[in-house]
Amino acid sequence: MLIRLSQLFFRTLREDPVDAEVASHRLLVRAGYIRRAAPGIYSWLPLGLRVLAKVEQVVREEMAAAGAQEVHFPALLPREPYEATGRWTEYGPNIFRLKDRKGGDYLLAPTHEEMFTLLVKDLYSSYKDLPLALYQIQTKYRDEARPRAGLIRGREFIMKDAYSFDVDDAGLAVSYQSQRDAYERIFSRLGLEYVIVAATSGAMGGSRSEEFLTPTAIGEDTFVRSPGGYAANVEAVTTVVPDAVPFDDAPAAHVEDTPDTPTIDTLVAVANERFARPDRPWAAADTLKNVVLALVHPTGERELLVVGLPGDREVDLKRLEASVAPAEVEAAGDADFAAHPELVRGYLGPGVLGPNVPVAEGAGDTARTSVRYLLDPRVVVGTRWITGANEHGKHVFDLVAGRDFTADGTVEAAEVRAGDPAPDGSGPLELARGIEIGHIFALGRKYAQALGLTVLDQNGKAQVVTMGSYGVGVTRVLAALAEANNDERGLAWPAHVAPAHVHVVATGKDPAVFEAADALATELSSRGVEVLYDDRPGKVSPGVKFADAELLGVPLVVVVGRGLAEGVVEVRPRVGGTTEQVPVAEAADRVSALVDALLAV
Interface contacts to a copy of itself, rule CB under 8 A? 7-11, 32, 35, 37-38, 41-46, 49, 52, 67, 69-78, 93-94, 96-98, 100-101, 106, 108, 115, 119, 122-124, 132, 134, 139, 141, 143, 145, 155-156
- The residue (of 9 and 338) whose beta carbon lies closer to a copy of itself is 9
- The residue (of 151 and 414) whose beta carbon lies closer to a copy of itself is 151
Distance CA 179, CA 191 (A): 18
Cis, peptide link before residue 131, omega less than 30° from 0: yes
Strands 430-444 and 409-410: unpaired
- The residue (of 70 and 515) whose beta carbon lies closer to a copy of itself is 70
CB of 226 to a copy of itself, least distance (A): 38
Helices marked H in 275-373 — which ranges?
317-324, 334-339
Distance CA 83, CA 12 (A): 46
Cα–chain center distance at 576:
30
Distance CA 30, CA 28 (A): 6
Dihedral Cα 543, 549, 551, 554, nearest 10 deg:
-160
- The residue (of 121 and 590) whose beta carbon lies closer to a copy of itself is 121
- For 178, half-sphere exposure in the C-beta direction (CA atoms, 13 angstrom radius) is 24
- The residue (of 24 and 261) whose beta carbon lies closer to a copy of itself is 24
CB of 329 to a copy of itself, least distance (A): 16
- The residue (of 109 and 571) whose beta carbon lies closer to a copy of itself is 109
Instruction: Give 529-596 as a DSSP string.
Output: --EEEE---TTS-HHHHHHHHHHHT-SEEEEESGGGGGTEEEEEESSSS--EEEEHHHHHHHHHHHHH
- The residue (of 75 and 245) whose beta carbon lies closer to a copy of itself is 75
Helix, strand or coil, per DSSP, at residue 329 = strand
CB contact set of 339 (below 8 Å; sequence gap of 6+): none
HEC-encoded secondary structure of 469-529? EEEEEHHHHHHHHHHHCEECCEECCCCCCCCCCEEEEECCCCHHHHHHHHHHHHHHHHCCC
- The residue (of 130 and 492) whose beta carbon lies closer to a copy of itself is 130
Q: Which amino acid is at 32?
A: G
CB of 158 to a copy of itself, least distance (A): 10
- For 241, half-sphere exposure in the C-beta direction (CA atoms, 13 angstrom radius) is 13
CB of 54 to a copy of itself, least distance (A): 14
CB of 77 to a copy of itself, least distance (A): 6
CB of 70 to a copy of itself, least distance (A): 6
Distance CA 354, CA 358 (A): 11
> Which residues face 318 on adjacent strands?
none
Helix, strand or coil, per DSSP, at residue 118 = helix
- The residue (of 66 and 399) whose beta carbon lies closer to a copy of itself is 66
- The residue (of 85 and 226) whose beta carbon lies closer to a copy of itself is 85
